[in-house]
Amino acid sequence: MSRHDNNRYRDRSPVTLWAPDAGHPDAIGLRSIGFWLYMMSDAMIFAALFAAHGVYTHAYGTSDITASQVIDPVEGLLPTLFLFTSVLMYGLASVALKNDDRAGVVRWMGASLGLGVLFLLVEVWEFAGLVGEGAVPQASAFLSDFWTIVWVHGGHVFVGLIWMAAMLIQISREGFTETVVGRFINLRIFWFFQAVIWVCVYTYVYLMGAS
């Protein structure tokens, strides 16, 4: 029996478990599709919240506070403007990344961060007003649902802002390494996704609530 026969139990020749010339794995692409799939599962969390909103839209219980009293679509345009502009600024940071412009990335991402903070401040101001009117989450099923949807989205924005601040530090310190660029692309997915979800929140909660 030869040393390299087909009987693997007896064959003691070295086994190659990978192809040495397979090339560099596409780490950025793999991270991107992995994070994108996570965002798809995140979208299903919002599906559950929108489903609850559909059920509780007019569930006021013993509360005399209705949706049209607490929701102002025109007032809701201000955070819409801040969030969409923040997304635009992040897009311009992406263009600066493409052009290998570190100062440009930091400048546009800083603007995006600032506008994201303004978005949250407007939301806080709006809901502080609701508290003053007694429209707290525990007042009715509708209000608990309204607070939850808006603030789950707001929580996403808050996490995105922390991530953005961390990215600013990493880009300033490390430059455009493969790891940093991969994180930048994932944050771009996360941040742009917040604009798409906000279209649903503004339409389904603010506009439908007032119509």
- Per CB under 8 A, the list member of 67, 70, 87, 149 interacting with other proteins is 87
Q: Which tokens hold the place of 207? A: 């506009």
Q: Which tokens hold the place of 95? A: 């263009």
Site string for other proteins, 17-56 (x = CB under 8 A): ------xx-x-xx--xx--xx--x--xx-xxx-xxx-xxx
Closest to other proteins by CB, 120 vs 182, is 182
119, 39 contact by CB (below 8 A): no
Q: Does 152 bind other proteins (CB under 8 A)?
A: no
Dihedrals phi, psi of 145, to nearest 5 degrees: -70, -45
User: How far apart are the C-alpha atoms of 36 and 193, rounded to whole Å?
Assistant: 10
Secondary structure tally for the chain: helices H, strands E: 7, 0
Find the shortest distance in angstroms from Cβ 93 to other proteins: 9
Q: Indicate the Cα dihedral angle 47, 53, 54, 55, nearest 10°.
A: 120
3, 12 contact by CB (below 8 A): yes
Closest to other proteins by CB, 39 vs 168, is 39
Q: Does 104 bind other proteins (CB under 8 A)?
A: no
Q: Which chain residues interact with other proteins by CB under 8 A?
A: 23-24, 26, 28-29, 32-33, 36-37, 40, 43-44, 46-48, 50-52, 54-56, 58-61, 73-74, 76-77, 80-81, 84-85, 87-88, 91-92, 94-95, 97-98, 100, 140-142, 176-178, 180-182, 185, 189, 192, 195-196, 199-200, 202-204, 207-208, 210-211
